[in-house]
Amino acid sequence: MENIEKKAASCKRVHCLVLSYPAQGHINPLLQFAKRLEHKGLKVTLVTTYFISKSLHRDSSSPSTSISLEAISDGYDEGGSAQTEGVEAYLERFWQIGPRSLCELVENMNGSGVPVDCIVYDSFLPWALDVAKKFGLVGAAFLTQSCVVDCIYYHVNKGLLKLPLLDSQLLLPGMPPLEPQDMPSFVYDLGSYPAVSDMVVKYQFDNIDKADWVLCNTFYELEKEVAQWLGKHWSLKTIGPTIPSMYLDKQIEEDKDYGFSIFKPNNESCIKWLNDRANEETSQKGLVVNWCPQLEVLAHEATGCFLTHCGWNSTMEALSLGVPMVAMPQWTDQSTNSKCVMDVWKTGLKVPADDKGIVRREAIAHCIREILQGERGKEIRQNAGKWSNFAKEAVTKGGSSDKNIDDFVANSISSKSF
């Protein structure tokens, strides 16, 4: 590790662009990975779209302030996807304009004394790999979803899993038996959100075999069998959890939040409300806010469990902080994540829906009581603590994710021409 840092320190011009899909749930993990790379000595520039870059609230106390922010065009610089008639029109325009705009950014940087050596790109934007190859750069795909979900999509993409799903139980490498409703919504609910489905299931995996690296926001211990299987097909490295360092290994000083936010959270009101409550105690009233500092809320001693749709970022935050989950999935990867939460990692309960597909408040209340007061809750809380320890160990010096990031940094340095 020390040799890698020394080499990186003597090689300040090793420069990595980190390109994010323009959404908060994608910016967060890619930004955190950017902080890790910078901590290990690389120069890093975060890239998103013009509209999103102008919309970001930046925390002046965060280590992210030392990371440069650049922008490319998605064809809708004044309003982003809100300017369009729908997701399909937005993605079609972005796919036309984005590659050209990214090429221009790389050309400008190459001519300004800070040439680009590597592009880490959100796998939702696979055309970035073509740009990397055009300039002879290292191209690394960054998967923002779990290995389990990525493996399912890969099987569909390669025709190994036929749609529509006809079997009542599905067996895939390294996974527990899955029922159709445990699969991502784009797999079991065919035709829903077709433009997004194509991007997620088809396009992000069309050229992933050609990427120099495939980086996944998970940790090896969490998804060992699936990560091993995917590693036989891709140059896969697990590099997560990508949450601020002060909640995990504390290697990056003052890294207490993500640092860039499209939405302004109600920090003061949320934490004040929690401070007024004892551990696992509730009153008859709750607190409703537009956007909360979720990490601070989950880390607070008064938080007993987390009612969540089970998006991957929220799932990783809860796992990392040892918070039991009450899962109420809605769409995309959430059903699969909630299946793993309940039946694989055993850190929560999935709220059952009634025969009309509606989740009733009584069912939610039952799950909360079971976690906080029931017999199953004891095991769930113990498992939550266990996975939290594994998450912290993964990013600590010498941990599985830390070693993988070291390998990536060392490769970035060695591949640079001097």
d(CA 297, CA 318): 10
3-state secondary structure of 308: strand
Q: Enumerate the H helices of 277-360 as residue ranges.
A: 294-299, 312-321, 334-339
3-state secondary structure of 282: coil
Catalytic option among 15, 26, 39, 300: 26
d(CA 180, CA 224): 23
User: How many Cβ atoms are within 10 Å of 194's Cβ, its own excluded?
Assistant: 12
Residue 147 CA, distance from chain mean position: 11
Look at residues 404, 406, 392, 395 and name the one whose alpha carbon lies nearest to residue 40. Answer: 406
Q: Is 309 a catalytic residue?
A: no
> 306: Cβ–Cβ under 8 A, 6 or more apart, which residues?
298, 314, 318, 323, 324, 325, 326, 348
3-state secondary structure of 29: helix
Q: Is 233 a catalytic residue?
A: no
Catalytic option among 15, 39, 74, 122: 122
Residue type, 91: L
End-to-end CA distance of the chain: 22
d(CA 140, CA 39): 19
Active site (catalytic) residues = 26, 122
